[in-house]
Amino acid sequence: MNIATTRGTTSRAMSLPNLLTYGRIAAIPVVVGCIYAQSILDQPLWLRWVAVALFIAAAVTDYLDGYYARIWNQQSAFGRMLDPIADKLLVASCLLMLAADGIIHGWSLWAAIVILCREILVSGLREYLAALRVSVPVTKLAKWKTTVQLVAIGFLLAGPAGDEVVPVVSMMGLALLWASAIVTIYTGYDYFRAGIHHLIKEDEG
């Protein structure tokens, strides 16, 4: 690889959209740490508000990195690879911490399980389809699913701290989590159907 190519690759890796994605990943241990300290170590409730603020900032970067990549023509293969990974890491780590925290409990655990299983399914399908050089675009419904999912997690991260302000914050979070899980099943089925279609074509070929 020559010097010009190396510099070009480094420049794309350090572009603002990718830096925003790095920031989203960096926020994960801090958000999880705040909830762990408050719930498991019985620290003050204000830590939950810190977690919520960082989570909101991380969720906003999910929109901004794609927006700036498009308007500044800074889209890259590295960014396309890292962006969905950052999203899945953020969602999965928060759901696991909220389950350990007890905010997600009982039947609501099934909603979290559905969401996590769908993410694993879609990741596997995308990897398989990428090997066939097949791209599966993200649908508008999938984007709405992600939005509802992030809002639900935000409410649940506030948890008891939010309930002190508005008593139904945790309940609203759980309701939105179930709504997200239901849409997740539908969008996951769409991805699965597309994967099976290309699998059958590959076998017949």
CB contact set of 21 (below 8 Å; sequence gap of 6+): 61, 65, 79, 82, 83, 86
pLDDT computed for residue 6 by the predictor: 43
Does 94 score more than 70 pLDDT?
yes
At residue 177 the predicted structure's pLDDT band, cuts being 50, 70 and 90, is: very high
Does 67 score more than 60 pLDDT?
yes
Mean pLDDT for 179-189 is: 88
Give the C-alpha separation, 88 to 123, whole Å. Answer: 9
Q: Is residue 158 a contact partner of residue 169, using CB atoms and an 8 Å limit?
A: yes
Percent of the chain predicted with pLDDT > 70:
80
pLDDT tens for each residue of 95-130: 999 999 999 999 999 999 999 998 888 777 777 776
Does 8 score more than 70 pLDDT?
no
Q: What angle is formed at CA 95 by the lines to CA 93 and CA 96, rounded to 5 degrees? A: 65
Torsion of CA 62, 66, 68, 74, to 10 degrees: 130
